[in-house]
């Protein structure tokens, strides 16, 4: 009905949220995860309120080690099929574009001088949608860490998925620190998406939430700032937490995410489809 008037189509908004919150954390419908598979200990660290927001403690139905990947896999295939249909049957006449919106936090190495923490940040960013859409295959980090629990694309599916977008929508709000941790290798089958990347994510470093650091810079000589009735010659920028315990203002992260996407994924067209902060 509106095809000739709508010029930008998004197939799915935040497939990560469907697959991970619904099938790893068990917080969103259908509230599935394996017993213990949604625990944050080790892989995640943050405030108690943040942990309660993420985890459904009563979730004992499902498999946090396989279902998030299967759901994500089929979301990718569904998206790609919709793109193929639009391109074959509608795009030439309607002259529109079609894409998908992906959400991410920017990952900052916990120790910026640590090569392992830098690799951990890269792994956290690599999981799990952009690389298949770009190349038709899952990133090597996922193949290495998830192994046979990771679904595989057939040759035909890979061709369908690769390049299945005219643009990427970016949903960005905040960032996290990423630290390398030893992968669980105890021989048990208690796998979970939340532990597979072998990354510890935290919003807090040395007691200070990310984005809440104080940055000092010398003011221009002509500028004097009145602070509690005292004139000072030092500018103070304090970035504060918002009304949500998970959302810390980290504006440079959106720029870093765009640069990362440009360099790693062949400079796709990107639209900022979500961004902002709570009061």
**Catalytic site positions:** 14, 274
- Please tell me the distance from the alpha carbon of residue 93 to that of residue 45, in angstroms, as a whole number: 51
Residue 242 in tokens: 């918002």
If residue 44 lies in a helix (H) or strand (E), which one and from where to where?
Answer: strand 44-45
Question: Nearest Cα to 100, choosing from 193, 12, 189?
Answer: 12
Secondary structure E strands in 73-205: 97-109, 167-180, 199-202, 204-205
8 Å CB contact between 17 and 171: no
Residue 207 in tokens: 């007691």
Q: Token match 């990347």: residue? A: 197
8 Å CB contact between 60 and 35: yes
């Amino acid at each position: 009905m509106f095809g000739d008037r709508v010029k930008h189509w998004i197939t799915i908004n935040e497939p990560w949220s469907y697959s991970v919150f619904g099938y790893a954390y068990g917080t969103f419908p259908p509230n599935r995860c394996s017993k213990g598979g949604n625990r944050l200990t080790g892989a995640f660290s943050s405030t108690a309120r943040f942990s309660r927001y993420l985890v459904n403690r009563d979730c004992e139905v499902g498999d946090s080690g396989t279902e998030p990947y299967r759901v994500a896999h089929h979301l990718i295939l569904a998206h790609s099929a919709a793109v193929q249909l639009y391109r074959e049957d509608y795009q030439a006449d309607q002259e529109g574009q079609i894409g998908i919106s992906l959400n991410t936090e920017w990952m900052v190495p916990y120790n910026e001088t640590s090569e392992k923490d830098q690799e951990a940040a890269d792994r956290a960013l690599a999981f799990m949608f952009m690389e298949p859409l770009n190349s038709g295959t899952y990133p090597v980090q996922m193949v290495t860490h998830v192994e046979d629990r990771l679904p595989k694309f057939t040759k035909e599916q890979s061709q369908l998925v690769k390049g299945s977008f005219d643009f990427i929508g970016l949903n960005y709000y905040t960032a996290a620190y990423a630290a390398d941790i030893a992968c669980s290798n105890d021989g048990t089958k208690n796998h979970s998406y939340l532990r597979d990347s072998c990354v510890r994510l935290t919003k807090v470093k040395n007691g200070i939430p990310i984005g809440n650091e104080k940055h000092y810079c010398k003011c221009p000589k002509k500028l004097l700032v009145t602070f509690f009735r005292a004139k000072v010659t030092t500018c103070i920028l304090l970035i504060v937490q918002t009304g949500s315990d998970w959302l810390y203002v980290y504006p440079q992260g959106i720029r870093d995410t765009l640069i990362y996407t440009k360099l790693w994924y062949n400079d796709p067209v990107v639209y900022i489809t979500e961004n902002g902060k709570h009061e």
